[in-house]
Amino acid sequence: MPIPPEVSTPPFLFEAILYAPIDDTSSTAKIGNGIIFFTLYKKEVAMWDSLTLPNANKEKLQYLRENAVLKAHEKAKEETEAKKVTKQEHKKHALEATMKLEEAERKRIEDLKEKERQKVTKELELWKKQQKDAEKQKTVQKEGELYQVEQLKEKKKEKINKTRIPNEGTSKTRLKPTKGYGSYSMFSENLKEEQLPAPRSAATIRINFTSRVFPTALRESCIAEEEEWLRKQAEARRTISVDLSELEDLKEEEKNPDWLKNKGNKMFATGNYLAAVNAYNLAVRLNNKLPLLYLNRAACHLKLRNLHKAIEDSSKALELLTPPVPDNENARVKAYVRRGTAFCQLELYTEGLQDYEAALKIDPKNKTIEKDAEKIRHLIQGTTEDS
């Protein structure tokens, strides 16, 4: 037969009838086979004269039992309160431990953000330096070209002047001093008459004007820049940036950058930004000279929160959207706005405001861009006041 379990014995069952108090904590009872076996320990080591109280009548035993029950209830209440206090202390300790963990995690995230911000700032400074160096190089190159043009003009002018200077003998035969003046006059009556050629016969000359690609008036246009822009776009259309043998598995239309651009636009319109990025990526592999591919891919990266890639694509689009002509104004405005939006989402509000202001210079009547630029100014002012 298995050993029955030990159970704690309520002290009031024995203190009411036993000769002296017992240790209720150490005392046990075993129950099994219809029998209860009690093991009782005395509170004080001493020899008892009897097991039960001597001369205890019924009223006294009843009183002792009731008193024992009250003591048991009070002790149970104290134990409950003690457990409650212990539980509250455990909860408090757990809460403090959780708060410490959350604080450590928050600090870790702040450190990561700070590192990322420093990284972005360094990359931005490097990019600005590269842009400044490129602009400086372009300026030096343009100055050199202008100098060469001026030299050619000077040489041409000298050549024309040489051809126009008459020799001394001819001047003597053609011109004669006017009375009272020390100079020659072509209207003088004293000029020696020369034999003049016969008048030209009258005729009608037909002139055909080539239609202009750009809508602006000729006096307001920069013909050289517009022709350069058209030439760059034509060359970009003919450019193939990848070996087509690498793309043998693609269909014929999938090797066309324009077809891929239109497909990416449709994917973007349906909200499938990852698929749109893939379409633009393949189009860029086929032709890396088309600015609209980078411009549209920057919009996808903004939606996907790939902010650094959005900045890179917008900058590349602006690099290809040169020279600045009316035909690419809309694209340049979008590129500046998208790059400025990415900067602002990285909390680089000063750089973002610069791009928004550059867009406003191109399109000063755009109220939406003007309102967004004003919001960025308020953010910068608020950040300055907080610091």
Pairing of strands 6-8, 28-32: antiparallel
Res 211 pLDDT > 80: no
Structural domain includes residue 276: yes
SS3 8: strand
- Considering the domain architecture, whether residues 258 and 364 belong to the same structural domain is answered as yes
pLDDT digits (tens, 9 = 90+) for 120-153: 988 888 998 888 888 888 888 888 888 888 888 8
CA distances from 267 to 259, 274, 292, 353, 365 (A): 12, 9, 16, 30, 31
Instruction: Say how many residues make up the chain.
Output: 387
Which pTM was predicted? 0.43
pLDDT of amino acid 187: 47
- Considering the domain architecture, whether residues 37 and 113 belong to the same structural domain is answered as no
pLDDT digits (tens, 9 = 90+) for 220-239: 556 666 666 677 666 666 65
Q: Given 151, 175, 203, which residue is the final one in a domain? A: 151
Residue 343 sits in a domain whose CATH number is: 1.25.40.10
Structural domain includes residue 78: yes
Query: Encoding tokens for residue 70?
Result: 């009250």
Structural domain includes residue 222: no
- Considering the domain architecture, whether residues 91 and 44 belong to the same structural domain is answered as no
Q: Which amino acid is at 256?
A: N
Structural domain includes residue 206: no
pLDDT of amino acid 307: 94
- Considering the domain architecture, whether residues 261 and 144 belong to the same structural domain is answered as no
Structural domain includes residue 243: no
> By residue range, what is the domain housing residue 68?
57-151
- Considering the domain architecture, whether residues 263 and 374 belong to the same structural domain is answered as yes
Q: Which H or E run includes 173?
A: helix 168-174
Structural domain includes residue 24: yes
- Supply the Cα-derived Rg of the chain in whole angstroms: 50
Res 377 pLDDT > 80: yes
Whole-number average pLDDT of the chain: 79
pLDDT digits (tens, 9 = 90+) for 298-313: 999 999 999 999 999 9
Q: How confident is the model at residue 296 (pLDDT cuts 50, 70, 90)?
A: very high
Q: How many other CB atoms are found less than 10 A from the CB of residue 164?
A: 7
Average pLDDT over residues 371-382: 90
Helices 329-345 & 291-303, crossing angle to 10 degrees? 30
| Number of independent structural domains in the chain | 3
